[in-house]
């Protein structure tokens, strides 16, 4: 089942707590502003969404208080992890053999290259 975020342009991937997922079983699979925010949203960049994914959505997701936001850019083979701090995101961009560092997934040992290779 796909989960959306009530916004003009929802994310490509949404990660939320299992309890929140189960609460949505009997209703539309959309997270409203009155619901707790998802733990993570991921945007996959394409030429037509590049500006939105890097700029517009960053501001929008900050207002929605989504704690972690990833920008997966196959055009540059980079992954940017944005962490919310006072409704604004601090970000770190990873590439190549760099290990991703995410507070949500502290035990991950995946590199950017490994992630992109698994998508092909």
The answer to whether 116 and 101 are in contact (CB under 8 A) is no
Q: Could you read off the pLDDT of 48-90 as tens digits, one per residue?
A: 999 999 988 888 888 889 999 999 999 999 999 999 998 789 9
Q: Could you read off the pLDDT of 95-118 as tens digits, one per residue?
A: 999 999 999 999 989 999 999 998
User: What pLDDT score was predicted for residue 5?
Assistant: 54
The encoded tokens of residue 83 equal: 């962490």
- Other C-beta atoms lying within 10 Å of the C-beta of residue 89: 20
Domains and CATH numbers, the chain: 4-119 (3.90.1570.10)
């Amino acid at each position: 089942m796909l989960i959306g975020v009530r916004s003009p342009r929802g994310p490509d991937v949404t990660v939320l707590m299992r309890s929140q997922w189960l609460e949505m079983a009997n209703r539309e699979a959309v997270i409203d502003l009155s619901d707790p925010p998802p733990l993570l949203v991921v945007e996959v960049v394409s030429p037509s969404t590049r500006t939105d994914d890097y700029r517009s959505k960053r501001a929008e997701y900050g207002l929605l208080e989504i704690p972690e936001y990833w920008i997966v850019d196959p055009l540059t083979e980079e992954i940017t992890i944005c962490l919310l701090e006072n409704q604004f995101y601090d970000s770190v961009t990873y590439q190549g053999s760099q290990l991703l560092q995410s507070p949500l997934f502290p035990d991950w040992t995946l590199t950017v290259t490994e992630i992109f290779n698994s998508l092909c």
